[in-house]
Amino acid sequence: MLVSGSTASTEYIPGHTTTLAGGWYSIKHGSEVQLLGNDYWSVPTDVAFDMLSAPDELTVGQLVDDVESVREFVERPIDEPTAIWHELAHIVGVLRGIEEPDRRSI
């Protein structure tokens, strides 16, 4: 499992997620990402970009699920059929999980 309690090492967040965020995070905070929780609110993409009305529904995401899904996605054979939108949603969850502790450290 990639998340143990409320800590994940940037070394265990695979692929480009580490390159995009983990490297910068490591420079500032070290190699461990302190995840401040597990559950978070998520606005479905189909309503997130509709600026004419407020979202009337939220979903709940889980960082443990996101990190595990990203790991599985990166390890999956490249020719295996994949719902990219679904995997991107998990990557966004991981990036938000990294974002929150950094925001609090400002």
On average, the pLDDT of the chain sits at 78
Is this prediction's pTM over 0.75?
A: no
From the list 20, 29, 28, 10, the residue with the least C-alpha distance to 67 is 10
- Tens of pLDDT, residues 20-72: 555 666 777 677 666 778 899 999 888 899 999 898 888 999 999 999 999 89
In Å, how far from its chain's centre is CA 42? 11
CA distances to 43, 56, 66, 101 from 74, rounded to whole Å, are: 24, 33, 12, 24
Strands 32-34 and 39-42, by their bridges, are: unpaired
